[in-house]
A = this chain, B = another copy of it.
């Protein structure tokens, strides 16, 4: 089971209007609401492709109940911890040309609620093959949060070996040898000081985009910046570069992956789709990650998210068509 952690989930609300006028009064033509947040989107994609996943994190108030109900309606397994504050909404006002977005600040999380989350992760983490920590942190949780969760998850006693999810394509690696990694693979998708702290805590995989990587490390060259995160303690770093594909600095060398076709659509969920594929690559790896395959899947899943209007869903025909077109190169 792949466990995703979303500490600051949202109810994503989309308003369609005929035209947007600054300081005007608008008749909203349609209202669409959907549970959102980066970890939630990762779980949605994994669930769509038939992989076992559980979404956890923090939810509160009437909006939290709406998020929970939407996840239930989607058939997604979730185990969120309840908090006193109210989960945030994002409101995207879509006119025929573009989108104007309003992000609510979200709840303030207390120390007791944070401890409740750690307890929940202590239970769920033992059954997970990979734990994905994704997205921004709510008020009350500092940039050390993901690092501390990584440290905690590394010390968990493992549950009995389980049937692992199948590799996304091709034969599964040998699953009988659990000796290489004694804890669930820890994947952290974040930015800023939280990214540095996660590297120092020894996260197995970090997945910043190129701008986040440069911003957090102060190093402009993505290869050098990724190597720096590995020196700090990270197992591997995959840098997503939008339509320019990905590069990976790993214990098995440096890789790049790309797709020469440009897709038109909504790139919002592409990063989360890539994270989902990379999490699956980590979860399937008992004696090291098959980077060639993992990066191929990550680029294909990412591209297959673009034709779909909402984050957290892939266009399966696009996925099948693009998978063989991805070029993966081992650079060093």
* Interface positions of A (Cβ within 8 A of B): 15, 17, 20-31, 62, 65-66, 91, 93, 97-105
Contacts and interface: CB of A to CB of B under 8 A. Distances in A.
Contact of A101 (B25, B98, B103, B105): B25
A135 to B, nearest CB: 15
Contacts of A101: 24-26
A62 B93 CA distance: 21
B27 A103 contact: yes
B100 A22 contact: yes
A178 to B, nearest CB: 44
Contact of A23 (B21, B26, B97): B97
Nearest to A27: B103
A219 B103 CA distance: 46
A97 B22 CA distance: 11
A31 B93 contact: no
B62 A29 contact: no
Contact of A91 (B29, B91, B97): B91
Contact of A30 (B26, B103, B105): B105
Contact of A102 (B17, B66, B105): B17
Contact of A28 (B15, B62, B99, B102): B102
A16 to B, nearest CB: 10
A282 to B, nearest CB: 31
Given A29-B105, A30-B105, A105-B31, A23 B100 contact: yes
A2 to B, nearest CB: 29
A28 B93 contact: no
Contact of A99 (B23, B62, B99): B23
Nearest to A31: B104
B23 A103 contact: no
Given A20-B22, A22-B100, A23-B100, 15 more contacts: A15-B91, A15-B102, A15-B104, A17-B102, A22-B22, A23-B98, A24-B100, A26-B103, A28-B103, A29-B105, A31-B104, A62-B65, A62-B66, A91-B102, A93-B102
